[in-house]
Homo-oligomer: A and B are copies of this chain.
Amino acid sequence: MNTFQKIGERLEDLGLNGLQILQNPDHFCFGIDAVLLAWYASGSVHYKTRTIDLGTGTGVIPLLLYGRTGTRHIDALEIQPEMADMAKRSVALNDLNATIHVTCGDLRHPGSAFHSSSYDVVVCNPPYMRTDRGKLNPRDNLAIARHEITCTLADVAGFAKTMLKDRGKLFLIQRADRLVDLATVLREHQLEIKRLRPVYPSPGKPANLLLIEAMKKGRPHAIIETPLMVYQSDGQYSREINAIYGTPGPQKK
């Protein structure tokens, strides 16, 4: 156990340039949605891009974005102190304190730590569940990560509208059944969906997730990209998913 690791935590290899991340199986661990979102956003993140990840959790998206792009500035905001602390320690153990800046705070009240119209890219893997749907998980940090307790789509869109430069981009992953919520809330906040990639769990099933790229003050014109299939009918990961896990770059479809 290294000096950054606490009891109960495990150290995972991200399979990307030797990057590692702390995870605690008792808390919320990152899943394929974070991997897909980091991959989807990485085509718009370059060396000088100013990026912020909202609700960063254990910091997986900033680490993956850095690993894919070598970008030099990512801010990360997390409302739960113990998660923010774990993310900070993961950043430190990868020696990335100069690149990834984790702040514990509430995106609904960002205060003076963040400057309006200063970001090129906002990334967010928001809670999927409306609080009026589904059973709330009694373990708080799971409930907060999964339900819109501390952050709704409108909160995310409001932050992005304020903090993005004009023509800056918001990247989201969200449950497919919330498509209309997404489209309406984003447009209400001057964020126009430019690309949408439906993610299908396997052939013959409806999409369960949507990858979204929206542009601040973009003109209305959405590209509905090719379906992204996670599993093939034989139960193996598709070739594209294997490529996402195994390679640094995204390809626009």
Contact = CB atoms under 8 A, between A and B. Distances in A.
A198 B227 CA distance: 9
A115 interface: no
Given A198-B198, A204-B253, A253-B204, A224 B183 contact: no
Interface string A211-253: 0000000001111111100000000000000000000000001
**Size class of the A contact interface (CB-based, 8 Å):** 20 to 34
Interface stretch (A33-41, A157-165, A171-179): A171-179
A180 interface: yes
Contacts of A207: 224-225
B179 A198 contact: no
A75 to B, nearest CB: 28
A48 B222 CA distance: 38
Given A178-B220, A193-B179, A196-B179, A206 B184 contact: no
A227 B225 contact: no
Interface of A: 176-181, 183-184, 186-187, 192-193, 196, 198, 200, 203-207, 210, 220-227, 253
